[in-house]
Amino acid sequence: DKTYRTTVPTWVAQDENGEEAELEVAPTDLMAVAAAVLVVVADWQTGHADPFLNNVIALSIACELLEAISLESYVTAVAVSVGLLTYDYLAVFKTVGLANVISGVSSAGGTGDSIMVSVAKQVSGPLKIIFPSSNPNATYPFSILGLGDIVVPALTTSLCLRVDKALQVEGKREATPGARPLFLSAIAGYALGLVLTVVGFNATQSAQPALIYICPSIIVLTSVTALVRREFGSLL
């Protein structure tokens, strides 16, 4: 592919010697920048109110986060997942009505939204994925999936994919094209977690912290897969 070379001022980027950095730009890079500018301008023009544009920007942020962050061990992945799902649980279930108290709105019996739900509803920005609500009588017309509900499980999922590849490269597993059992079990765990989240919401008609369903599902399925394949030591 054809690329263009240019230099950028030192206040933008520097090379290892502190001089002007040389930048290689491909036509696809220019197209990506143009598309990004169009999406951002369109989102600004609509007052951050268009669900599609919000989701495009939010997913782009999630992808950038996954490129910048990676976990080095399964133990770390489990620890991060457990810590954040605990926070998610407390923020959703143990702060019900507190948002009203903080805002000065009285609520009988400690009812109302939790801090987490209140922030998710009120913050206008690409910090969440928005779907039309399946409940026509809902006071809030959208279902919400936070970026954390995507990025945190994806960190474990990407780790499983790296372990799959490493086992094949090291010769500890037959190099079968497309064979990614740990990665696929993590994907299945994520799908199962989302289904359980929806079931929990429909059963209680209240907001559910998705991570308390997603993280255990991924951990259980990937661990069972590794144990069955006698690869749990390699996974750790």
**pLDDT tens track for 169-180:** 887 877 776 679
More confident residue, 137 or 52: 52
Tokens coding 57: 């920007």
Closest CA to 159 of 72, 234, 86: 72
Question: How many C-beta atoms lie closer than 10 Å to residue 178's C-beta?
Answer: 5
The end-to-end CA distance of the chain, in Å, is 40
Looking at the annotation, which residues are catalytic? 88, 149
Please answer whether residues 161 and 180 qualify as being in contact, where contact means their C-beta atoms are separated by less than 8 angstroms.
yes
pLDDT of res. 96: 65
What's residue 109's pLDDT?
45
Q: How many Å is the Cα radius of gyration of the chain?
A: 22
Q: Which of 73-82, 92-101, 183-192 has the lowest mean pLDDT?
A: 92-101
Q: What is the rounded average pLDDT for all residues in the chain?
A: 84
Mean pLDDT for the stretch of residues 173-200 = 89
Q: What is the pLDDT of residue 101?
A: 47
Residue among 167, 175, 113 at smallest CA distance from 144: 113
Mean pLDDT in residue range 97-125: 60
Tell me which residue of 211, 194, 236 sits closest to 83, measured CA to CA: 211
**Percent share of the chain, pLDDT over 90:** 44
pLDDT over threshold 50, residue 123: yes
Has residue 111 got a pLDDT over 80? no
* Helix (H), strand (E), coil (C) string for the chain: CCCEEEEECCCCCECCCCCEEEEEECHHHHHHHHHHHHHHHHHHHCCCCCHHHHHHHHHHHHHHHHHHCCCCCHHHHHHHHHHHHHHHHHHHHCCCCHHHHHHCCCCHHHCCCCHHHHHHHHCCCCCEEEEECCCCCCCCCEEEEECHHHHHHHHHHHHHHHHHHHHHHCCCCCCCCCCCHHHHHHHHHHHHHHHHHHHHHHHHCCCCCCHHHHHHHHHHHHHHHHHHCCCHHHHC
